[in-house]
Structure 1
Amino acid sequence: MGLAMIDPAILLAFAGTAMLIELTPGPNMVYLAVVAASQGRRLGYAAVAGVAVGLAVVGIAAALGLAAAINASPLLFQALRFGGVAYMLWLAWDGWRDASEPVQKVASGVAARTYFRRGLITNLLNPKAAVFYVAILPSFVRADAPVMSQTLALSAVFVVVATVIHAGIVSLAGTAQVLLENERYSRFIRRALALALVAVALWFGWATTFNPR
């Protein structure tokens, strides 16, 4: 019902904007690539599902006005920011610690729900996701139609676009697992990926230092 209220040209423009934003390297892209390369596609897709649910939850919160409250409260925004950085650093440490274990052993010993939960939490602690829904999405909403219905519809479009891109990242990164089956390269590559996640966490903390309102 919400999509019927939106002009097709506006919907296409929004989908294109969402695609460009999701193709820009960020926490989700790097984290999913790390999971797929080090643990395999199965756990990578589980993380993708968690990310999708996280984005959907934030989109619903935006429709209810909670995302606007987060964006307007420096204290709440900073709490989410530091929580997100700390969680990504913990994920990097977890990957570094498991680097000595054979890939097959790590992947078989971890349930998919663990990576689903990690993908979910990573996005719930990502204030930039809330900022997208508050700062960008409203530009595509018509004032002469129910705002909540349009917001929910556009949020669904964003989640679909993001999920397709994230699944593609996992599919491509999963090919790197062949290299990781070689014990000679496995530890080096997986620890390099863990360090890359540390770098993204630090970048994320720096990039969200100021709440863009």
Structure 2
Amino acid sequence: MDNLGVFILTAFLIESTPGPNMAFLALISATEGRRYGFATTLGVALGLLIIGLLAAAGVAAVISQSPIMFQILRWGGIVYLLYLAWEGWREAGENSPSTAHGAKSSATYFRHGLIVNLLNPKAAFFYIAILPTFVSTTDTSFTQTASLTLLYVGIATIMHILIVTFASLFNPFLADPKRNKMTRQILSLALAVVAIWFGYSTRGGVS
């Protein structure tokens, strides 16, 4: 139970630090609204869950021992985040928030959230380097890892819901095209900076 308490605290602290999810959810929720923010959150949760279950099945151990596989995952995440930042910047040139997302639907944002987390270097580091330290060798490691994964996804989702709820409060204010464009550009730049920072901070791989 002591380890569980430490794990919960660790998960909250990690999710409170700036990362791809925080930047992307803020961008979507502030400029597109709560509906699309929650759709993205569901995709994020599924992505985190899939990575966690793969880690429980032993994939994390394989990746941690393979610099090439880790670099493929790492660069895939960096490139995708930069693509989303570019997309947000490009859409800032639209005339109004209603035309900015065009034919996009909730499914589009769900898919973005899913892919971001399947390629999320922050999530990969958590499952490869941090979560295993809380797994006891006295019990079935798969059961423990899967249970801790569900707990972590739950904590992360709570944090993401709070981010979406708070950021979406600015959506009515951003109904003005000029304010919407400026905010999109600022948040898109922030997402690009996060991508570059994660690329730099994860360049050494997993020790």
Contact kept in structure 2, 1:48 and 1:163, CA below 8 Å: yes
- 1:30-41, aligned counterparts within 5 Å? 30-41=23-34
SS of 1:114 mapped into structure 2? helix
The CA distance in 2 between the partners of 1:183 and 1:106, in whole Å, is 10
CA contact (8 A) 2:92 2:100 kept: no
**3-state SS of paired residue (1:136):** helix
2:205 counterpart residue number: 211
Separation (CA, whole Å) in 2 of partners of 1:149 and 1:92:
37
Q: C-alpha separation between the residues in 1 aligned to 2:168 and 2:129? A: 34
1:95 is aligned to 2:88: yes
Code of the aligned partner of 2:14:
I
CA drift of 1:107 comes to 4.7
Q: In 2, are the aligned partners of 1:71 and 1:131 still within 8 Å (CA)? A: no
1:136 is aligned, of 130, 133, 144, to 130
**Distance in 1 of aligned mates of 2:64 and 2:121:** 8
1:76 aligned partner, one-letter code: M
CA contact (8 A) 1:59 1:155 kept: yes
Q: C-alpha distance in 2, partners of 1:185/1:128?
A: 31
Provide the C-alpha distance between the structure 2 equivalents of 1:67 and 1:96, rounded to a whole number of angstroms.
34
**Mean alpha-carbon deviation: is it higher for 153-162 or for 99-108?**
99-108
Q: Unpaired segments of 5 or more residues in structure 2?
A: none
Question: Conserved in 1, the CA contact under 8 Å of 2:63 and 2:69?
Answer: yes
Please give the alpha-carbon distance, in whole angstroms, between the structure 2 residues aligned to 1:194 and 1:127.
19
Residue 157 in 1 paired to residue 148 in 2? no
2:181 match: 187
Partners of 1:67 and 1:134 within 8 A in 2: yes
Query: Runs in 1 of length 4+ with deviation above 6 angstroms?
Result: none
Using the size of structure 2 for normalisation, the TM-score is 0.94
Alpha-carbon distance in structure 1 between the residues aligned to 2:66 and 2:178 = 49
1:14 is matched with 7
**1:64-123 Cα deviation digits (max 9, x unpaired):** 110111121111111111111111111111111111331133357321111111111111
TM-score (norm 1): 0.92
Cα RMSD after superposing both structures = 1.4
Residue ranges of structure 1 left out of the alignment (5+ in a row): 1-7
- Equivalent pairs counted in the alignment come to 206
Please say if 1:72 is aligned against 2:65.
yes
Mapped contact 2:97–2:177 kept (Cα < 8 A): no
Which amino acid is 2:137 matched to? A
Q: 1:42 aligns with which of 24, 35, 39?
A: 35
Amino acid paired to 1:58: I
Task: Give 1:166's aligned residue.
Answer: 160
Q: Contact 2:27/2:187 (CA < 8 Å) preserved in 1?
A: yes
CA contact (8 A) 2:131 2:145 kept: yes
Offset at residue 127 of structure 1 (A) = 3.2
